[in-house]
Structure 1
Amino acid sequence: MLGLLLLILALLGNITRKIKPEAVKPNILVIMADDMGYSDLGCYGGEIKTPNLDRLAANGLRFRNAYNTARCCPTRASLLTGQYQHKVGLDRNGKSLTRDGVTIAEALKPHGYQTGMVGKWHLSEAIPLKDKAKHLDWLNHQYDPGIPFAEVSTYPINRGFDKHYGIIWGVVSYYDPFSLVEGDKPVKTVGKDYYITDDFSQKATEYIRDFTKKDDPFFLYLAYTSPHWPIQAPQEDIERYLPVYQEGWDVLQQKRRDRQIKMGLLTPQSNKLSPIQGRKWAELSAAEKEFNTKKMATHAAMVARMDRGIGQVLKTLEETGALDNTLIVFMSDNGASPEIMHVSGYDRPSETRSGEKLLYADAIPVADIGKEISYTGIGPEWANAINSPYRLWKAESIGGGIRTPMIVHWKGLKTPKGSVSDELTHVMDIMPTLLDLTDIPYPKVYQGNTIKAMDGQSLLPVLLGKKRPGYAQLFFEHEGGKALIEGDWKLVAPKRKAWELYDLKADRTESDNLMMKNPAKAADLKQKYEAWSKRMGVSE
């Protein structure tokens, strides 16, 4: 009798285990800004009004030692695959993501995740029309060649995303974007008061409301174009920031650094203020100051508008009851950009849809900066200043190019609210972190393709207040700019320049070149870089 009773209890226990619900997997929201300055956000020392991202930081975890790959496409490739970009086809900007890596969406989708993307893809090779005049007409929305914007097999909906609304190319007008698609169908017209940042924010809220109708968790990748050039924003938003930037880039850089020190993000001893590359503000004429003030005010308006949209997204998460079970990651694809384009071509239109001529570089009247006809960027001086305290800008392997603000917000964080981590972190850590968090295995084969190993490392131990092994070395290369970080040492060669050596513990802003003082260390690091470069197939 006792034996029978024990058998019944064992069977009941087995049944109970089988019907016990699995742990609820978290929703995931990854938000990426485009060409944003390291210190643009309020929570990273900026004066731009970013209350929503600041709120995430105040209740989450900020990283001050986080890195990207210095440029749009390579960073997006590393983010989505967890690999160095060279291994998945992005050895240079503008190519297609290859099939020897899986995207986060491809990894999560087979395990019950709903997957969506809103925004800039930029991982499909854009091939211009051979007829240059027709190509410009295509960019201008004045000619339809009847072809897709790139090979459709490379679109997001064919890389694991259930749905995608956004742009396929990388540079577009904020008022009438080229290459806008819904899935694989072109969106041929937009409304009169259209603004792309608002559109992406609204679409993200729609996706969340749709996802939360089901019990299955979701992964949403929200990739804004803001504040990438052309710098364009509603005039009323720009006007709010005009008084803020009249003192110029030298003063702005100093004020941001002072604020960063006061916030505890920096220490003055190891963060010398990097010299502005270009002219001093005092050297400008009154007209030049007015022109450049308007440009920076436009950039600020773009960042503020993005933050406002992120506020909409957060409100939707709250209203749908999804916020507490959503891991949110925010970062930028690279540092602020020095680019100022002078002519149309490739991805730059020459006219509006209605035939109004677009104005480039210095040909823009101050009153027109920020409007649809204005196609320019902030330039090197502002870019250097808003990457405070770091040197240089986008596309370089110096700090101003590859350091990114990074915020993680999640109810499961075991770190103090509002704390800051010094963990050496890379954008390619996001994929392994999400797989670790969701207990989903990384595939060795996907849809018949052999998948290369990830290079990133899970941040989950850090999020749980623990330590992780970390990187022995972290490597960087983009179109000639290259670097290696090992411990406190950084060996770096800006584009077309010689190697430089820095002790990041004493000199985070890479101001004191130690090449002559430590030739043995430099030689050792150079040898390690060259071995990695060879493995990646980097062409010198």
Structure 2
Amino acid sequence: MHLWIRFSLAAATVLWSAVAASADERPNIVVIMVDDLGFSDLGCFGGEIQTPNIDSLAEGGLRFTSFYNCARCCPTRAALLTGLYPHQVGLIRNGNSLTNNGVTIAEALGSAGYQTAMAGKWHLSRTKAFEDRQKQLDWLNHQSEPDRTFAPLETYPINRGFQRHFGPIWGVVNYFDPFSLVEGETPIEDVPDDFYMTDAITQKSIDYIQEMSQHDAPFFLYVAHTAPHWPLHAKPEDIAKYEKTYREGWHKLRDERYDRQVAMGLIDPKTFPKPELQGHGDDWEALDEATREHMSQLMAVHAGMVDCVDQGVGRIIETLKETGRLDNTLILVLSDNGASPERYLNPGFDRPNETREGKPIQYEGLFTPGSENTWGYIGSYWASAGNTPFRYWKAQSFEGGAHTPMIAHWPAGLKTKPGSKTDQPGHVIDVMPTCLELAGVEYPETYQKHEITPVEGLPLTPILKGETREGHPEMYFEHEGGKAMIADGWKLVQPKQNGEWELYHLAQDRTETKNLADQQPQRVAEMKRQWQAWFNRVKP
């Protein structure tokens, strides 16, 4: 247990009044979560996608180059909001509800006088399904109204500390006509003809900032984008920017991103050797011209989706400036996991087969991607290139799955040189205690009569101050059989398919290219023992 003084949040506002002169001195906090973003997708992390607004936050802030997530949507979001490993709060697997033995950032800060709001994807409520497949599809297609309660209402964001929420409850959406879209507890039945999910999240974030800035109390805003998670849906003007960008294939993309990362000092080729590109199925040279064009267009849509997110970040930054809040606002930008190799080629559960108007949705074939009539994915090769310089991808506990780009920007509070990089390790479980420490709120022992599990995260504030943080002696990972542990510069990892344990010396081999398990059997045995002890402690 970390050495926090623990108490009931009922006393939080009393504590705050004793330690601060006025609420205005506490920073606003904006956490921007992007979904299935490749480690190298952003310009400031080596990408070719146009992300000038996020890049500007990096230029004026701090980039984390050793920041970790939980390799999948639900687990990462649970860990970020509670400061606990996902196993401890009901999210050992996707599709469950966040349990009440964890307190969210919004619950903690809201009880201490913060305004709280969320725009975007929740994905922390148990999703339900009909036994009859056609009934499920009709529901997803907006063609029936059997129930517009998409999950238990008590698990919605509006009932987990967020005073305002707009966004989808489920994790997958048609970007032009999303399923499970709500405002508070109220389902949104119809959307305008020009609706696009990313723009809607941006606009609602702006509305919330403008509204909350009219009051003296600081605010916590969680901007949880669905992009660039599949399906690959983007506006034509955003796709057009990248129409020709990816026609030379994923090997060229990975090589160019790697070279830029080296040139910008983000990685050292001595400790970040370039691994072989990974993928399933035919490689680029084995594809015919028509298939290459289709694959290049899939990646172009992905790029357009990221580009649109960045445009929205620019509008959020401008709104913070206009309201006079930018200077004392900590902005964190990160991803829930690495780029995704997933390709589900059949409708079902959370994948519709028709639009609301009854037009069929195409999953296979050489279609032109981007519209709501198609359901595209970038696939494993583009995901591998997207996660340059790392191996593997979403859902794996290798670096490509569990390593996120992370940016911190805070003009009034960040003490590092603008544009700096830090290699000090961090984890999404550290975001919650960071927010509480900056707000002058201590982690609770109880909340609304529920016993709260002791926090696992550690504040990032020493790093933000330009200091060296003691950090986590070990960090642990597990998702659907993908396992890992990092300690003393070493990483023990087991592939999701429950293969043999592998050992890498991250201090010398950050990209996991040399498996030293056979050479270090005692280290493997000890780290396996430690991992199992951790898992036995945190699992339900």
> What TM-score results when the alignment is normalised by the length of structure 2?
0.95
- How is 1:312-327 mapped onto 2 (pairs within 5 angstroms)? 312-327=315-330
Is 1:333–2:336 an aligned residue pair? yes
What is the distance in 2 between the residues matched to 1:455 and 1:252? 38
Q: Distance in 2 between matches of 1:240 and 1:349?
A: 28
Distance 1:438 1:183, change over 3 A: same
- The alpha-carbon deviation at position 280 of structure 1 amounts to 3.0
Instruction: Give the fraction of aligned pairs with identical amino acids, expressed as a percent.
Output: 52
Aligned partner of 2:187 in structure 1 is: 186
* Contact residue 341 and residue 376 of structure 1 kept, 8 A: no
1:249 equivalent in structure 2: 250
Q: Residues 221-260 of structure 1 correspond to what in structure 2 (within 5 A)?
A: 221-260=222-261
Structure-2 residue corresponding to 1:516: 518
Deviation at 1:21, TM superposition (A): 4.3
Alignment of 1:91-110 (within 5 A): 91-110=92-111
Within 5 Å, which residues of 2 pair with 1:54-93? 54-93=55-94
1:432, distance to aligned residue in structure 2 (A): 0.5
C-alpha distance in structure 2 between counterparts of 1:415 and 1:86, whole Å: 34
The alpha-carbon deviation at position 363 of structure 1 amounts to: 2.4
- Cα shift readout 1:365-412 (whole Å, capped 9, x = no counterpart): 2xx311111112100000001100000100000011000000000021
Partner in structure 2 of residue 377 of structure 1: 377
Structure 2: distance between partners of 1:136 and 1:254: 42
Counterpart CA distance in 1 for 2:69 and 2:388 is 16
Structure 1 alignment gaps of length 5 or more: 1-16
Q: CA deviation at 1:364?
A: 4.6
How far did 1:537 drift? Answer: 2.4
**Offset of 1:242 from its aligned partner?**
1.8
For residues 213-255 of structure 1, give each alpha carbon's deviation from its aligned partner in whole angstroms, at most 9, with x where no partner exists.
Answer: 1111100000000000000111222121021111100010010
Q: Look up the match of 1:30.
A: 31
Matched, 1:407 2:410: no
Give the match's secondary structure for 1:70.
Answer: coil
| Post-superposition CA distance 1:73-114 (Å, at most 9, x none) | 000000000000100000111110000000000000011100
In our comparison, the structure showing a higher alpha carbon Rg is: 1
The AA in structure 2 aligned to 1:370 is: G
User: Are residue 344 (structure 1) and residue 347 (structure 2) matched?
Assistant: yes
Counterpart-to-counterpart distance in 2, 1:210 and 1:472 = 42
Q: Where do residues 146-185 of structure 1 align in structure 2 (5 Å cutoff)?
A: 146-185=147-186
Q: Superposition pairs for residues 34-53 of structure 1, below 5 Å?
A: 34-53=35-54
Name 2:308's counterpart in structure 1: 305
Q: Is 1:294 aligned with 2:297?
A: yes
Counterpart CA distance in 1 for 2:20 and 2:448 is 32
Distance across 2 between alignment mates of 1:118 and 1:20:
31
The 3-state SS of whatever aligns with 2:389 is: coil
Distance 1:347 1:25 in 2: 40
C-alpha displacement at 1:534, in angstroms? 1.1
Deviation per residue, 1:168-196 (Å, 9 max, x gap): 00001000000000000000001111111
Residues 295 and 22 (structure 1), Cα distance of their counterparts in 2 relative to 1, 3 Å cut: closer
Rounded Cα–Cα distance in structure 2 between residues aligned with 1:215 and 1:306: 29
Partners of 1:466 and 1:340 lie apart in 2 by 43
Deviations 1:424-470 (A, max 9, x none): 10011000111111110111000000000111110001101112221
Q: Distance in 2 between matches of 1:449 and 1:379?
A: 42
**2:483 corresponds to 1:476:** no
Q: Aligned to 1:359, what secondary structure does the other structure show? A: coil
Q: Which segments of structure 1 move beyond 3 Å, counting only runs of 4 or more? A: 17-23
Q: Could you say what secondary structure the match of 2:242 adopts? A: helix
**Structure 1 residues 351 and 18: CA distance shift in structure 2, 3 A:** closer
Of 501, 511, 524, 1:499 maps to 501
Inter-partner Cα distance in structure 1 for 2:153 and 2:103: 17
Q: 1:5: which partner in 2?
A: none
The alpha-carbon distance between structure 1 residues 403 and 370, as it changes in their structure 2 partners (threshold 3 A), is: same
Question: SS in structure 2 opposite 1:165?
Answer: strand
Contact 2:46 2:261 (C-alpha < 8 Å) held by counterparts? yes
Q: Shift of the alpha carbon at 1:22?
A: 6.0
- Distance in structure 2 (CA, Å) of the matches to 1:140 and 1:513: 47
Give SS of 1:29's match. Answer: strand
Give the aligned CA root-mean-square deviation in angstroms. 1.3
Deviation at 1:474, TM superposition (A): 0.4
Give the whole-Å Cα distance in 1 for the aligned partners of 2:488 and 2:257.
27
- Which whole-Å CA distance do the structure 2 matches of 1:447 and 1:233 have between them? 42
Q: What CA distance in whole angstroms lies between the structure 2 residues aligned with 1:479 and 1:325?
A: 40
Q: Corresponding residue for 2:427? A: 426
**Number of aligned residue pairs:** 519
Are the equivalent residues in 2 in contact too, given 1:250–1:280 (CA < 8 A)? Answer: no
2:133 equivalent to 1:128: no
Q: Which amino acid aligns with 1:288?
A: T
Check conservation: 1:38, 1:387, Cα contact below 8 A. Answer: yes
Distance in 1 between the 2:122 and 2:517 partners?
39
Report the CA distance between 1:131 and its aligned residue.
Answer: 2.5
Q: Given that residues 23 and 218 in structure 2 are in contact (C-alpha distance below 8 angstroms), is that contact kept between their aligned partners in structure 1?
A: no
Rounded to whole Å, the distance in 1 between the matches of 2:341 and 2:328 is: 39
Q: CA deviation at 1:162?
A: 0.3
Residues 260-279 of structure 1: matches in 2 within 5 Å? 260-278=261-279, 279=282
- Secondary structure, counterpart of 2:404 in structure 1: coil
Deviations 1:119-171 (A, max 9, x none): 00000010112322111111000001134000000000000000100000000
Specify whether residues 116 and 216 from structure 1 end up closer, same or farther in structure 2 by C-alpha distance, changes over 3 A only.
same
Matched, 1:537 2:521: no
> CA separation of 1:19/1:484 partners in 2, compared to 1, >3 Å: closer, same or farther?
closer
Is contact 1:341-1:375 (8 Å) kept? no
Partner residue in 1 for 2:11: none
The 2-side partners of 1:136 and 1:261 are apart by 47
Question: What is the one-letter code of the residue matched to 2:512?
Answer: E
Contact 2:148 2:187 in 1 (8 A): no
Aligned to 1:142: 143
Give the match's secondary structure for 2:519: coil
- Measure the CA separation in 2 of the matches of 1:155 and 1:135: 21
Change (3 A) 1:20 1:153: closer
Q: Structure 1 residue 276: deviation in Å?
A: 1.6
The answer for unaligned runs of 5 or more in structure 2 is 1-17
CA distance in 2, matches of 1:473, 1:515: 19
CA drift of 1:53 comes to: 0.3
